[in-house]
Amino acid sequence: MAAVIAFVSQKGGVGKSTLARAVAREAAAGGLQTKIADLDTQQGTSVDWHRTRMDSGIEPVVSVESYKTASQALAVAKHFDLLVLDGPARTSQATLDIAKSADLVVQPTGASLDDLRPAVREFHALVKAGVDRGRLTFALNRIGTDAEEADARAFLEEAGYSVLEGCLVERASYRKAQNAGFAVTETRYAALNARADALIQALIDRISR
């Protein structure tokens, strides 16, 4: 049975698909049989990225497929080493189903209180519904400064949740890379790739515990 990492959020644009694609790319590059299950059938962000990547012939190939429900996606888990669930960009019963099924639930968030407060409420709701707090963690995305990262990290930890080491900084190069079918670990800039690698490695280390 595959290890299952789920990316969830209450809102779109916080980096859910960005991180799902990056961790899947790194796992595939490491020789793991990996699948992204895109559960946002309305947006299909990861499916569209996969099509661009395939059309451009970018290696390694990352398997991506759209599913209506978490149970449909989990049914194929036995065929893979890692199943990455790219959840819907809204709070729903599907979010709870995903969280209950995953070994690790990652919620990306920006540093503004407009992002942080609803993100914490999302995890509070999952804990209240019976999800183990120890399987929930945050990933910081679109961070402007070291001070902003530190403040966001402190806010989330004070709320009672772990935060992955590292962060993705706000850079147009990350968006350009993804527009072309690459992951954020595959930009043209070594320093940006190293920052993304550090965050993804922290995520992989967490699932490997």
pLDDT at 13 over 80: no
CA angle 100, 102, 103 (to 5 degrees): 120
Q: For residue range 122-172, what is the model confidence (pLDDT) as tens digits?
A: 999 999 999 999 999 999 999 999 999 999 999 999 999 999 999 999 999
pLDDT value for 23:
97
**What tokens does 70 get?**
């978490």
Q: For residue range 90-101, what is the model confidence (pLDDT) as tens digits?
A: 666 778 888 999
pLDDT value for 142:
95
| Integer CA distances (angstroms), 5 to 57, 139, 148, 197, in order | 26, 13, 27, 17
| Helix (H) / strand (E) containing 99 | helix 93-101
Q: Where are the domains of the chain?
A: 3-109+171-207
| Dihedral pair phi/psi, residue 8, rounded to 5° | -130, 160
Helix/strand/coil percentages in the chain, nearest 5 = 50, 20, 30
pLDDT greater at residue 194 or residue 11: 194
Fold category of 3-109+171-207 in CATH:
Rossmann fold (3.40.50)
Mean pLDDT of 103-119: 96
In whole angstroms, give the CA distance from residue 22 to residue 35: 12
Q: For residue range 19-68, what is the model confidence (pLDDT) as tens digits?
A: 999 999 999 999 999 999 999 888 889 999 999 999 999 999 999 999 99
**For residue 14, what are the contacts with CB-CB under 8 A and spacing of at least 6?**
107, 108, 109, 110, 115, 119, 141, 142
Angle between helices 146-158 and 113-128 (to 10 degrees): 30
Strand order in the sheet with 63-66: 63-66, 34-38, 82-89, 3-9, 104-109, 136-143, 162-169
pLDDT value for 208:
74
Q: What is the model's pTM?
A: 0.95
pLDDT at 11 over 80: no
